[in-house]
Amino acid sequence: MHPKSFRMPDGVPPSLRPLMELFGSDALRVRCIAGETLHEEILYLIRFFRHFDFPDSSEELARVVSPGSISAFLAKYAQEKSPGSIRWMRVSLRAFLRFAYRSALFDRDFSALVPVRSIRQLGTVPRSLPDACIAQLRKGVDRGSPAGLRDSAIICLLAVYGVRGVQIRRLRLDDIDWRKERIHFPAAKGGRPIEQHLTPEAGNLIFEYIRSARPESACAEVFLTLREPFLPLPNASCLSAMVRRRIERLGLVLPDGVSSGTHGFRHAFACRMVGKIPFKELVDQLGHRDPASTLIYSKVDLDGLRQAALPWPGGGQ
């Protein structure tokens, strides 16, 4: 991808846009990352800059960034965010600090201050949105506005099918077969596409949104932004922010460590299905290409694990 084709995310303060343009060009040229990955990294760096009240210039940023301030920011971030968000922040910040040193913005390479945490396969049990919270979200969104019609349809798809947020954003009008009552979600993250029965609730909500609230647009994607120019939803953060706003408006309190983003729906879906459908079917429904990616959810099926466990030799009955 050529650097000129990169679109700067919204929210970057004007004083730091030149620095982010340089960072973006460097990332595309040196690290050869995808434009969507770069877009996500800059969104996380905005959070880092916000911690320092958006310095007025690159020179001021260089003055306020120090080993102590970086460590304090990362410690605070780790207390407030989900593991996935923490990983994104560490990767993004490490890349920026290396770039800043190479570009002589900083006189030292601070990237070593950002921890590199290896995650053991199957090391943790997925944290999902509680079913009661999902039920309140599905019922509580006011569909009296275009935003409500769109958001209620999105939340329904996340809850019913357990798909990724990117699959919601890439869903196209021709991915829905109304006559055969089928819905097709494109592949994501190297996985497989997902094709499912279109449930009456999901079909009705999508149809109501398309008929009454979706703007006229040449875009083929189902879900569009609410303001002109009406474009496909640009990134994962916009979906996560929508879910977070809906949770806050309803006054819902999530358990500690549970993210308010879209992935909590996916974890909840998988946890509900474990032990109720064949494992191969769960792999297909989640769109995993490698069944090992689905094994993590077997840890929540405690009854099944107990039944599968062999008796300890000499331990009695």
- pLDDT digits over 210-242, tens only? 999 999 999 999 999 998 889 999 887 788 889
Q: How confident is the model at residue 312 (pLDDT cuts 50, 70, 90)?
A: low
Digit-coded pLDDT (tens) for 261-290: 788 898 888 888 877 778 778 778 888 776
Give the start-end residues of each E strand in 125-251: 176-177, 182-185, 194-197
Residue bearing tokens 């009454």 = 212
Residue 311 pLDDT > 90, yes or no?
A: no
Whether 162 contacts 197, CB under 8 Å: no
Q: How confident is the model at residue 23 (pLDDT cuts 50, 70, 90)?
A: very high
For residues 301 and 130, the model is more confident at 130
Digit-coded pLDDT (tens) for 31-56: 888 888 898 899 999 999 988 888 87
Residue bearing tokens 């040196």 = 30
Q: Output phi, psi for 180, to 5 deg.
A: -90, -5
Residue-averaged pLDDT of the chain: 84
Q: Output phi, psi for 124, to 5 deg.
A: -135, 155
User: In this predicted structure, what is the pLDDT of residue 4?
Assistant: 45
User: How is the chain split among helix, strand and coil, in percent rounded to 5?
Assistant: 55, 5, 40
Reduced to 3 states, what is the DSSP secondary structure of residue 214?
A: coil
Q: How confident is the model at residue 83 (pLDDT cuts 50, 70, 90)?
A: confident
Residue 302 pLDDT > 70, yes or no?
A: no
Q: Active-site residue numbers?
A: 164, 189, 263, 266, 288, 297
User: In this predicted structure, what is the pLDDT of residue 309?
Assistant: 47
Whether 129 contacts 267, CB under 8 Å: yes
State how far the Cα of 2 lies from the Cα of 29, in Å rounded to an integer.
8
Residues in the chain: 317
Q: How confident is the model at residue 125 (pLDDT cuts 50, 70, 90)?
A: low
User: In this predicted structure, what is the pLDDT of residue 147?
Assistant: 96
Q: How confident is the model at residue 16 (pLDDT cuts 50, 70, 90)?
A: confident
User: In this predicted structure, what is the pLDDT of residue 266?
Assistant: 85
Q: How confident is the model at residue 3 (pLDDT cuts 50, 70, 90)?
A: very low
Residue 2 pLDDT > 50, yes or no?
A: no
Whether 137 contacts 252, CB under 8 Å: yes
- What kind and span of H or E run contains 117? none
Q: Which of 25, 36, 10 is nearest to 188 (CA)?
A: 36
Predicted model pTM: 0.62
What tokens were used for 276? Answer: 């109720």
